[in-house]
Structure 1
């Protein structure tokens, strides 16, 4: 890429920069729907087999479509390199497991995406990796949990679904002082709003299923960071095989072309909906870092310069049963898990997202029976608000 192109804005780069890995004349790059590639000579085969992430050797190693989307993924987090994988959990597990071994220790926060909690509480201990979880709102708790064998400090901010924040700069400094890697899940905030690498983080993971694709038609994951660390996680993925296939890569690239446009609307709509809900008589509390009432609003303004995202949660008065009644009566807000698409989605975390956790675990994570999570889409915001108002007043 030329230095002149580097001066272009993000939205321009997301539309044009994938062409650097497109060897055809097609404006929309084709789908390379193949599992293997012709090797023109045995020498070429030997050379490609020894490469890290060759683009035209075998699709478990990489593909032209992956190369195109990885250019854009690196643009998002302003990283040296990126790796595209088959799901967000593939990205999280690969980023962590590629960097620990038996006898190591991980410091993580208490509130995470539910499958990440299972990874921390069940999978890592089976591999002989110890995990200490701390309150992410208390930065000093990370420092107190550090041990001589700590290899990773793992965070997620804002958290799912209570929208608690973790101080990225402070936790990165704590990790590095201990000689550990700082890894974070940036799915909720998304790279439009927050750049953890700027605060000292080493690796950033995303469920690209969400905002990066944005259309609820792809399951994908991404890891961004230095070239050396991405080479390490690629080697782990080569062996374990969490492949992002060519068609899904192609769809992800297409979704990324409208990323900046979508995120601006997600941010604006979510703030308007949060302000509306905060004043509603049937709502007990709203969790959204863009509200001055959020206890970490000052931190949000500091480390989320692009905006506060499209995710929020709110507690309805009346608990579990009342929350169920609300989700029964929404029409614009669709009852479905996942997030980050153009459509507004509503879920009941206690019985849907965190169903695999115990009552005690849900309580520790702040998942109350009356909590509803909203992924605010890009519909006309007046329609979203009217739909919620109608359901809350039933």
Structure 2
């Protein structure tokens, strides 16, 4: 049986009614036969049938032991960080998602957890950053928003040798393209708001652990801290996952066309997309993943924030918004949006330039998306005559 067929048929038919869709158990509590005697559920923060089915599905998708669903991607990240204690250190990817950077620096550093940021696409740099106090290596691959690719298997060996936990944020790739647990990671996190949900209609996060023991630790924090995913959002996420393979396949195909178009445009300076042979880690991306994803970033030759803002406010089909991974194409200006919490100097050093624009390539006809980009370039070229003719 193929993995796609297995996924579809792992979503159970309701035993009581025969409903082919997972029911939404919209309840806060469950009647007990006697104190402590119940049907497997006592209080909906601790467990809920709809959420439980979702958690089993995401664990299967990542081929892990335990899935745990949270009210947001940041809540999922927060639960993983709670595995640490004061005095522990983290080695993290340098162009990290701005929300994760804010959580690391503004919340956990004041509790005595030190974070060292390195270019994780340089495996030696990761090795050099490890100290006796390092307890967690935090990776995004591809990274947000410069699409750096890091060698998951090689870093897993470094983590194991250093007796560190190794967590991979797999949001950009999705489990359809990449399964970090099979490559040696201990934990995978997702902002399920993005590709897993896929329709820009929910906020959710998931953690998947390689072992049941580690999963039990994370689940303790899910219950103790209470950042659970609601039954309705669990239902929406299950529904999104049902079409994940088809959607990701088309996201990748459309993004490849967009990246190739941008690479040949005279107003574009650099294009960041692992599917291009010009990408420094193109071969590695092809080895550890089954596709290159739906995110394309690029910088303008007019490397100013003003030029980028002019671009992102003149598109038709690409809608200016935070987030990514939905069926409709989105774009954003990371320096002033998703990564604005990162100091300018650190942001630029990580490769997030003032003119960098991130595209979340949706499921529209690719010819329409290319036409939209072209008409936008035409507009900004007219608005900035000094750039004309480049």
TM superposition score category, shorter chain reference: over 0.9
User: Which residue of 2 is the match for residue 171 of structure 1?
Assistant: 155
Match of 1:42 among 30, 35, 39: 35
User: Which residue of 1 is the match for residue 176 of structure 2?
Assistant: 192
Corresponding residue pairs, total: 377
Supply the distance in 2 between the matched residues of 1:238 and 1:176 (Cα, whole angstroms). 29
Q: Do the aligned partners of residues 23 and 208 (structure 1) sit closer, same or farther apart at CA in structure 2, a change above 3 Å counting?
A: farther
Supply the distance in 2 between the matched residues of 1:79 and 1:329 (Cα, whole angstroms). 43
The question of 1:12 aligning with 2:5 is answered yes
Residue 95 of structure 1 and its aligned partner are, at CA, apart by: 1.4
Task: State which drifts further: 15-24 or 109-118.
Answer: 15-24
Supply the distance in 2 between the matched residues of 1:62 and 1:218 (Cα, whole angstroms). 20
The question of 1:33 aligning with 2:37 is answered no
* Cα RMSD after superposing both structures: 1.4
Supply the distance in 2 between the matched residues of 1:270 and 1:380 (Cα, whole angstroms). 11
Instruction: Give the alignment's TM-score, normalised by structure 1.
Output: 0.93
User: Which residue of 2 is the match for residue 113 of structure 1?
Assistant: 97
Q: Do the aligned partners of residues 22 and 180 (structure 1) sit closer, same or farther apart at CA in structure 2, a change above 3 Å counting?
A: farther
The question of 1:345 aligning with 2:364 is answered no
Supply the distance in 2 between the matched residues of 1:344 and 1:236 (Cα, whole angstroms). 35
Which whole-Å deviations, capped at 9, do the CAs of 1:55-107 have from their partners, x for residues lacking one? Answer: x221111211111111210121111221111111111111121x211121211
Question: Does the Cα contact within 8 Å between 1:107 and 1:146 map onto a contact in 2?
Answer: yes
For the residue of structure 2 that corresponds to 1:65, the secondary structure is helix
User: Which residue of 1 is the match for residue 275 of structure 2?
Assistant: 290
Supply the distance in 1 between the matched residues of 2:309 and 2:133 (Cα, whole angstroms). 45
Match of 1:90 among 64, 75, 91: 75
Supply the distance in 2 between the matched residues of 1:29 and 1:66 (Cα, whole angstroms). 10
Alignment of 1:89-168 (within 5 A): 89-97=74-82, 99-168=83-152
For the residue of structure 2 that corresponds to 1:19, the secondary structure is coil
Match of 2:250 among 236, 242, 265: 265
User: Which residue of 2 is the match for residue 389 of structure 1?
Assistant: 374
Supply the distance in 2 between the matched residues of 1:57 and 1:365 (Cα, whole angstroms). 47
The question of 1:256 aligning with 2:241 is answered yes
Residue 223 of structure 1 and its aligned partner are, at CA, apart by: 0.7
Supply the distance in 1 between the matched residues of 2:276 and 2:93 (Cα, whole angstroms). 23
Is there any run of 5+ residues in structure 2 with no aligned partner, and where? 380-390
Supply the distance in 2 between the matched residues of 1:21 and 1:186 (Cα, whole angstroms). 30
The question of 1:81 aligning with 2:57 is answered no
Match of 1:281 among 239, 259, 266: 266
For the residue of structure 2 that corresponds to 1:360, the secondary structure is helix
Supply the distance in 1 between the matched residues of 2:174 and 2:16 (Cα, whole angstroms). 30
Q: Do the aligned partners of residues 142 and 40 (structure 1) sit closer, same or farther apart at CA in structure 2, a change above 3 Å counting?
A: same
